[in-house]
Structure 1
Amino acid sequence: MKVGLYFGTFNPIHVGHLTIANHLAEYSDIDQVWFVVTPHSPFKTKSSLLDNNQRLEMVFRATKDYTKLRPSDIEFGLSQPNYTINTLTYLQEKFPDYEFALIMGEDNLKSFHKWKNYELILEHHHIYVYPRISKGKIETRFKDHPKVTKIEAPIMELSSTFIRKSIKAGKNIRPMLPEHVWEYVDEMNFYKK
């Protein structure tokens, strides 16, 4: 089975995340997409970042009606600060019969050469890149790399930051969140302060 790993804080998860993940699950050779919730770093204080389990709960609620999408708390038990290469190594040991690929936006690919052991990641894993409206160029070594696949997913320029600011400003953002996530955010009064 081929699993696409979609890393993020998902603070909150929104319809853009779901659209991209579902597109990959339906229109590529990826069988499942796992939303890997990045834990809150104990070394950083970021008041707008919800607790790990609250964000995992949102991802669970967002994906529960989709058979090919699922939440993952795999990084919660790994030592912090964590690097993607460590997560990939851990997953490969835990699920030796699975093939793991990375899902990232075009903007992340531009800084991929700065990631710890990025050469090793490229050697053992495919990377699926979804389009983003962003400045700067992708290095040729990644653009033409046989393990880097650019996907023709819809461009979703919706950000969790925008959603949090809008909630704080009292705006109606309900269409931007999966229904179950909106209900949870509203019920818990998240992002209002």
Structure 2
Amino acid sequence: MVLVYGGSFNPPTKAHQLIIESLIQKYKPNRFIILPVGHKYTWKDNLLPFEYRYEMLQLIFKHNDLIDISDIENRDDFKGTYHSLKQVQKTHPKEKIFFIIGTDHLKTMHLWKNYEALLNEFSFIIVKRPKYELSFEIFKRFNTYYEVFEFESDISSSRIRDNIEKYKNDLDDKVYQYIIQHKLYQGEKL
């Protein structure tokens, strides 16, 4: 089994870390791939350049041999999550691939590139997030295998971006230091 966790990780928080650690403990995958969105992803406001988010993830997970942080979605030939997962599948042909998403993505999946193929060919783990409605209609419509992973946390990347000092305890110390050193999320141009 290979678990692939997609997201913006803008910034990566202690909640992301706990989700990853909990998923590894529960599912015992052979590989865990973190798939940060690349520079072509235009749906999020205030999305830091890929390099910063990638480096912050490296600071947290570089010593864990089970975890890979992928740059697939930052390549010029990026064609959407479906194609990213197909590339993962090529490098792990004998493994079942599970894509991990938060409940906040359930309402917009129909807008993703090749979402029908994504839902037809891959299995999902949905991380239940507070304040988001659970609607699995899209999975039922495509007869997609999915599991819900219960994880309650009030840590919010957007809240951290809005006030780094107030919510710095929601960040790994190495990530906090990186943000301060690079003057990120402080209204300054990058």
In 2: Cα distance, 1:63 partner to 1:142 partner: 31
C-alpha contact 2:56 2:178 (8 A) present in aligned 1: yes
Return the letter of the residue paired with 2:170: M
Q: Is the 8 A contact 1:132 1:155 kept in 2?
A: yes
Task: Tell whether the 8 Å contact from 1:7 to 1:38 is kept in structure 2 after alignment.
Answer: yes
- Change in Cα spacing, 1:139 to 1:89, as seen in structure 2 (3 Å) is same
2:54 to 45, 53, 56: 56
Q: Deviations over 1:23-51 (max 9, x none)?
A: 111112533321112112287895x3322
> Is 1:184 matched with 2:178?
yes
Q: Give the letter for the 1:166 counterpart.
A: N
* Matched residue type, 1:28: Y
**Between Structure 1 and Structure 2, how many residues are aligned?**
186
Shift of 1:137: 4.5
> TM-score, normalising length from structure 2?
0.83
Corresponding residue number in structure 2 for 1:122: 119
For residues 159 and 17 of structure 2, what CA distance do their matches in structure 1 show? 17
Aligned partner of 1:165 among 132, 152, 162? 162
Query: What SS does the aligned partner of 1:34 have?
Result: strand
Once the two structures are superposed, what CA deviation does each residue of 1:77-111 show, in whole Å capped at 9, x if it has no partner? 2425x311111122223443443210011221233
Greater Cα offset, 94-103 or 141-150: 141-150
Moved more, 25-34 or 123-132: 25-34
1:140/1:78 CA distance change after superposition, 3 Å: same
Long gaps (5+) in structure 1: none
1:35 aligns to 2:31 (yes or no): no
Q: Are residues 1:22 and 2:40 paired?
A: no
One-letter amino acid of the structure 2 residue matched with residue 75 of structure 1: E
Q: Please say which of residues 61-70 and 182-191 is displaced more in the overlay.
A: 61-70
The aligned runs of 1:6-155 (5 Å cut-off) are 6-41=5-40, 48-80=46-78, 82-140=79-137, 142=139, 147-152=145-150, 154-155=151-152
TM-score, normalised with respect to structure 1? 0.82
* Aligned-pair identity (%): 26
Q: Does the aligned pair in 1 maintain the 2:126–2:149 contact within 8 Å?
A: yes
Structure 2: gaps of 5 or more residues: none
